[in-house]
A and B are shown apart, each in its own frame.
Chain A
Amino acid sequence: MFEAIAFYLFAFLTIAMFYITVTTSQALYALTALAAGMIFISAFFFILGADFLGAVQIVVYSGAVMALYAFGMMFFDTTREVKEKQGNKLIIFGLSSVAAVLLVVIFATPIVSDNITALYPMTEGAGNTQEVGMVLFTKYLVPFEIAAVMLLVAMIAGIVLAGKKMDQSLTLMEEDEIRHMRDEQNKKVLL
């Protein structure tokens, strides 16, 4: 009973928040609505008993990713109204619906066609965090390490791309100034 109430409440809230995210013309509204939707999604993870996943969702998405977007938006002109593509609305909604139904078919086909058995069943008497740890550090150790390397690569890429020449702005410089700077850089590379 309470599960049903919680499910429908959070489903309504999540859909409303994400609808605002894709339809609003203000970047700040979209950002805050997206952050709220992420937090509401973690409620589903708590209902489903995936406590650790819910905590990770709040920490990583609402904490790290949203903070990163907020910092990134300081570089952009967010007060300007966002212009939209002028496309055929019927085609857009039709294609989206077809793709979404296709997603459900992909997920549901193995369930319908075969009575599947659990590959890594839940352990009795262990909390969700403990179970996740036991599976993650035995069966999924190699993907876990590769994900760590990937995050390191992403961090270095972010620092190199965004942190380079923070004191200069290419949009405020004159054309020949930029060309001069580029030539000097090329000289350094050639040497």
Chain B
Amino acid sequence: MEIGLNHYLVLSTILFAIGLVGVMRRKNLLMLFFATEILLNSVNISFAAISHYYGDLTGQMFAFFVIAIAASEVAVGLGLLIVWHKKHNNIDLEQMSTMRG
């Protein structure tokens, strides 16, 4: 049985849905970061698959830049999270009502 592009796209869809469910139901900000990592990774899979099935390297290039962005997002986000935790002693989303517009 041949594994085609559609298989990878369906897998990417399932992982993206799992990540979105995580983003919507988590209240803890650390867990929210985990869910965003899942979202970024699921998109990376489809980039690599399309790059392979069309013989084009652009998809892999975009996957590299996505990884770079994810790394810097984690660095800045964790720094902000540590500062928030030092001040308020929790990292729940519902406590951040001071940023409510």
Residues on A facing B (Cβ under 8 Å): 1, 3-4, 7, 11, 14-15, 18-19, 21-22, 27, 30-31, 34, 37-38, 41, 44-45, 48-50, 52-53, 56-57, 60-61, 64-65, 68-69, 72-73, 75-76, 82-85, 87, 92-93, 95-97, 99-101, 103-104, 107-108, 111, 116, 118-122, 131-132, 135-136, 140, 143, 147, 150-151, 153-155, 157-158, 160-162, 169-171
Chain B window 20-51, contacts with chain A (Cβ cutoff 8 Å), 1 for yes, 0 for no: 11101111101101110110010111101111
- Given the interface contacts A57-B67, A83-B28, A92-B24, does A100 sit within 8 Å of B48 by beta carbon? no
Q: How far is the CA of A69 from the CA of B35 in the complex (A)?
A: 13
Inter-chain contact B55/A118, CB cutoff 8 Å: yes
Provide the residues of chain B in CB contact with A76, threshold 8 Å.
30, 81, 85, 91
User: What is the size, in residues, of chain B's interface with A at 8 Å between Cβ atoms?
Assistant: 75
Shortest 3 CB-CB contacts between residues of A and residues of B: A161-B79, A154-B72, A22-B22
CB < 8 Å neighbour of B63 from A53, A97, A131, A170: A53
Inter-chain contact A143/B30, CB cutoff 8 Å: no
Q: At the interface, is chain A mostly helix, strand, loop or mixed?
A: helix
Inter-chain contact B78/A69, CB cutoff 8 Å: yes
- Given the interface contacts A96-B24, A153-B72, A154-B71, does A140 sit within 8 Å of B15 by beta carbon? no
- Given the interface contacts A56-B64, A76-B85, A83-B27, does A48 sit within 8 Å of B48 by beta carbon? yes
Q: How far is the CA of A111 from the CA of B52 in the complex (A)?
A: 13
A-B interface pairs (CB < 8 A), number? 228
Q: How far is the CA of A97 from the CA of B10 in the complex (A)?
A: 12
Q: Which B residue's beta carbon lies closest to that of A122?
A: B55
Q: How far is the CA of A84 from the CA of B69 in the complex (A)?
A: 28
CB < 8 Å neighbour of B38 from A34, A60, A118, A171: A34
Q: Is B96 an interface residue (CB 8 A)?
A: no
Output the least CB separation between B42 and chain A (Å). 8
Output the least CB separation between B39 and chain A (Å). 9
Inter-chain contact A119/B58, CB cutoff 8 Å: yes
CB < 8 Å neighbour of B86 from A50, A56, A103, A170: A170
Inter-chain contact B89/A171, CB cutoff 8 Å: yes
Inter-chain contact B48/A53, CB cutoff 8 Å: yes
